[in-house]
Amino acid sequence: MNKKELSTNAAGNVSLGGEISVHRLGFGAMRLTGEGIWGPPKDRKGALAVLRRAVELGINFIDTADSYGPYISEELIAEALFPYPAGLVIATKGGWNRPGPNQWAHDATPSHLRKAVEGSLKRLRLDRIDVYQLHIPDPVVSFEASVETLAQLRNEGKIRLVGLSNVAQEHIERAHKIVPIVSVQNRYSFADREWDYVVAYCERNAIAFIPWFPLGAGRVAGEVLCRIPQAYRASPTQVALAWLLQRSPIMLPIPGTSSIEHLEQNVAAASIRLSKEEYEELSGVPELVGSR
């Protein structure tokens, strides 16, 4: 890949609620924290450099959450990038806490979400969060109560746009009765297609779909991924990202990395166009997995 191709411009744009347009390849800031998404990174300077390089390469959508670290990911973003360049969108989340390494605890109660938004505003040094996502529905809290809280915070000017994460179509429809939903963030890749129908729903309703864990997993996926890249002198990761970008114009991948080298590889994937046959071969991987 030459320097000319090293920009997210090649991915095109996606609209968030008809209000903000961002390049269709973002950055996931979860991996900048310590091991187990817990505590500070081993290489703090390196983490700050990755964030700055991401913006230099044209990335203008950064995904984070209060629970990454906890708090560390948001603090690093502010330290690296504040005052933020015009057009940079930081999408954070709340409602799923990190009480220890590799542990999760639900809390999407209205009182917690209010506190969480205030905390994110402070750490990110913002007056208003461009995109605030409910991290996951809380099984013991009314989903409507969680979403209504985000709608109120939006009316108060603390949130600009509301997104959801780890949801089914039914949640999006219920939430949409309360507040416009601009993005949905679920686990998704060429080899992991549980949420295909949600991607289709988002496409019909002009909602951005943000796939997390976008690189695919498993032996069959790995075999196909290792064969296709040879034609492009690309890495398997780049091919997995290229598939996502071709899957739908509302797709907004946010590959996460703590390495500048990997970041540059991921951005270069925006310039890869898979042939129809390659795209379809990758699309068929879930069936291959199922038949073995």
> Is 68 among the residues known to form the active site?
yes
Which residues does 277 contact at the CB level (< 8 Å), separation at least 6? Answer: none
Angle between the N-to-C axes of helices 169-176 and 143-155, in degrees from 0 to 180, rounded to the nearest 10: 50
Question: How many CB atoms are located within 10 Å of the residue 89 CB?
Answer: 21
Q: For residues 248 and 265, which CB has a smaller minimum distance to ligand NAP in the complex?
A: 265
**Number of residue whose CB is nearest ligand NAP:** 28
CB of 256 to ligand NAP, least distance (A): 3
**Which residues of this protein are in contact with ligand NAP, per CB under 6 A?**
28-31, 63, 165-166, 185, 212-215, 235, 237, 254-259, 262, 265-266
Q: For residues 18 and 227, which CB has a smaller minimum distance to ligand NAP in the complex?
A: 227
CB of 179 to ligand NAP, least distance (A): 19
Beta pairing, strands 129-134 & 89-94: parallel
CB of 230 to ligand NAP, least distance (A): 16
CA–CA separation, 101 vs 8, rounded Å? 33
Q: For residues 189 and 246, which CB has a smaller minimum distance to ligand NAP in the complex?
A: 189
Residue 8: half-sphere exposure toward Cβ, Cα within 13 Å: 24
CB of 30 to ligand NAP, least distance (A): 3
Of 68, 132, 188, 232, the active-site residue reads: 68
Q: For residues 130 and 277, which CB has a smaller minimum distance to ligand NAP in the complex?
A: 130
CB of 144 to ligand NAP, least distance (A): 20
Question: How many CB atoms are located within 10 Å of the residue 85 CB?
Answer: 9
Give Rg (Cα) of the chain.
18
The alpha carbon dihedral of 215, 132, 202, 291 has a sign of positive
Q: For residues 28 and 286, which CB has a smaller minimum distance to ligand NAP in the complex?
A: 28
Long-range contacts of 283-287 (CB under 8 A, 24+ apart): 283/190, 283/243, 285/190, 285/191, 285/216, 285/220, 285/221, 285/224, 286/191, 286/192, 286/193
Question: Annotated catalytic sites, by residue?
Answer: 68
